[in-house]
Chain A
Amino acid sequence: MTIEEIENEIVEEFEMFEDWMQRYEHLIDLGKSMPMIEEKNKTEDKLIKGCQSQVWMHSELKDGKIVYTADSDAIITKGMVALMIRVLSNHTPQEIIDSKLDFIEKIGLTKHLSPTRSNGLLSMIKQMKLDAIAYAAKS
């Protein structure tokens, strides 16, 4: 699937829920089932610090595609990280660089993007794209 197709899939998934609590419950479940970063990769330089919760993010290039693994100390943040990984992981650096990530707004998580929430989602997206730019430059 293309990045956009996955985004649409997620939007549909979230539309099924009637209220906000269910959406967050889903986010929490996603967080619990996220592909975990390996302990050895949980280093200081992989840490994206938010004011409240933090994210460890690791990326590798496999067969021309980037594979991300991550973790967070907060479960809702982890759920959001899981969504981002589902959307971006296993795509080429260029596809990731070009992605618009409209789904965040469509599923109503935009408020987590505002800098005041400081949970690191914004910095995390930036980091994922920066990694992609770095890989693109190398290839």
Chain B
Amino acid sequence: MTELKTSTSLLLNIEAIRADFPILSRKVNGKQLIYFDNGATAQKPVSVIDAIDTYYKNQNANIHRGVHTLSQEITVAYENARTTIQKHLNAKHAHEIVFTSGTTASVNLLASSFAKKNIQAGDEIIISAMEHHSNILPWQQLCEEKDALLKIIPISKEGELIIDEFEKLISNKTKIIAVTHISNTLGTINPIKKIIAIAHSKNIPVMIDGAQAVPHTAVDVQELDCDFYVFSGHKLFGPTGVGVLYGKEKWLNELPPYQVGGGTIKTVTFEKTEYADLPLKFEAGTPHIAGGIGLAAAIDYINTIGLEKIAAYEHELLLYATDALQKIDGLKIIGTAKNKVSVISFIVEGLHPFDIGTLLDQMGIAVRTGHHCTQPLMQFYGVPGTIRASFAFYNTKQEIDEFVKTLMRVINMLK
């Protein structure tokens, strides 16, 4: 009954989708651009670009400050953007959505704020072996300052977290667990619901780094029951310089402000300051207003396509590309977890990723090479770096064909 099996690609009108992304029609080094570096940052649809454009042309004013019309209009628009994000994550309250400048800023905010009251000498923090530097360094630095201990959940050679080992790492000193939802280097989808349940059975809060997850999957923070969830706008087809820290109301109320200044207060005297309610308590200074509005436009855009369809189509791309790449002599895929998103890291025996990436770029193909800000992970696999192709829903099988063909040509040149 093969005829009845619907190809998921039929559910998406890829040509129409591609037309929404102006950059996809540009040429690079004289060649039609093939953009396979979506894990680093995603391209922006016209609706996002227009939202930012309209903001600066027609709506610009500061928020939460003025009585004048422009200020009131944009305050409403900005708060609506927050609500869009809240609904997208299925958070209980809009004030549980804190705008930041990105994932890195969100993790830093949380680590600093959390440490003030909750971390003492001898306490322990757990992260995993596949974390991005942005979810290692803030905790590592905090541990150094507070004389706390950073513990690492190990991974299997396939690139999956070893959950049994994770359970053994937990002690009565464990104060917080911070793990990535999806690995930017390996594409592994981690069983975060299970990790959260295990942690909560011991009353330990969990932060999830969702930077690589939100572009590929629907996230329901209430269903996951995570305490914190962080991500960046730019990987979600939105602008750079904006991101989110979701935190459960209870936690955000409890945590002290991170940066302080204008906008974070109720009353200030030189003796004492009373801080504003959530989320303003964590949003010092004038925020990236255009960013917040652009991010909401990006979320609206992907929701008109539907994350379920996106995930199904991207899975097709993943299988198609994995199959084709595996046939190349000497090519080894790094990260072969059962549950993966459309991210493929690989190395080619005897060849340096930099050389491959440089030549692919000459042919108009954008991939990422190097350590992907996951040096400990590279050390685990004993490689200096990998080549990473990461696909979005606007990529096609034809592009993968072209990529594989070019890659083989490049390998021949280098051998």
Query: Could you tell me which A residues sit within 8 Å of B by CB distance?
Result: 20-21, 24-25, 28, 51-53, 73-77, 119
Of A24, A28, A73, the contact of B362 (CB 8 Å cutoff): A24
Min distance, Cβ A113 to any Cβ of chain B, angstroms: 14
Which residue of B is nearest A77, CB measured? B354
Contact across chains for B362 and A21 when beta carbons are under 8 A apart: yes
> Are B362 and A20 touching (Cβ within 8 A)?
yes
**Are A20's CB and B29's CB within 8 A?**
yes
B413 near A74 with CB under 8 A, answer no
The answer on a CB contact under 8 Å between B355 and A51 is no
Interface magnitude class on chain B: 10 to 19
Please name 9 pairs of A and B residues whose Cβ atoms are closer than 8 Å in the assembled complex, sorted by A: A21-B362, A24-B413, A52-B369, A52-B370, A73-B352, A74-B352, A74-B355, A75-B414, A76-B358
A74 touches which one: B29, B354, B362, B363 (CB < 8 A)?
B354
Chain B contacts for A20, CB-based, 8 A: 29, 362
Q: Does B384 contact A (CB under 8 A)?
A: yes
With both chains docked as a complex, state the minimum distance between the C-beta of A138 and any C-beta of chain B, in angstroms: 35
Docked Cα-Cα span, A25 to B369, in Å, equals 20
Q: Which residues of B contact A77 (CB under 8 A)?
A: 354-355
For the complex with contacts A28-B414, A52-B369, 6 further pairs of A-B residues with Cβ separation under 8 Å are A20-B362, A21-B363, A21-B413, A52-B353, A74-B352, A77-B354
Q: A53: which B residues are within 8 A, CB to CB?
A: 352, 354
> In the complex, which residues of chain A have a beta carbon less than 8 angstroms from the beta carbon of B385?
52
Whether B137 sits at the interface, judged by CB under 8 Å, is no
Determine the distance from Cα of A116 to Cα of B362 in the docked complex, in whole angstroms. Answer: 16
Residues A28 and B354 in contact, CB atoms below 8 Å apart:
no
Task: Annotate B332-371 by CB proximity to A: 1 below 8 A, 0 otherwise.
Answer: 0000000000000000000111110111001100000110
CA distance A77 to B352 in the complex (A): 10
| Chain B residues with CB below 8 A from A74, complex form | 352, 354-355
With contact pairs A21-B362, A73-B384 given, residues A28 and B352 touching in the complex (Cβ less than 8 Å): no
Contacts of B357 in A (CB 8 A): 52
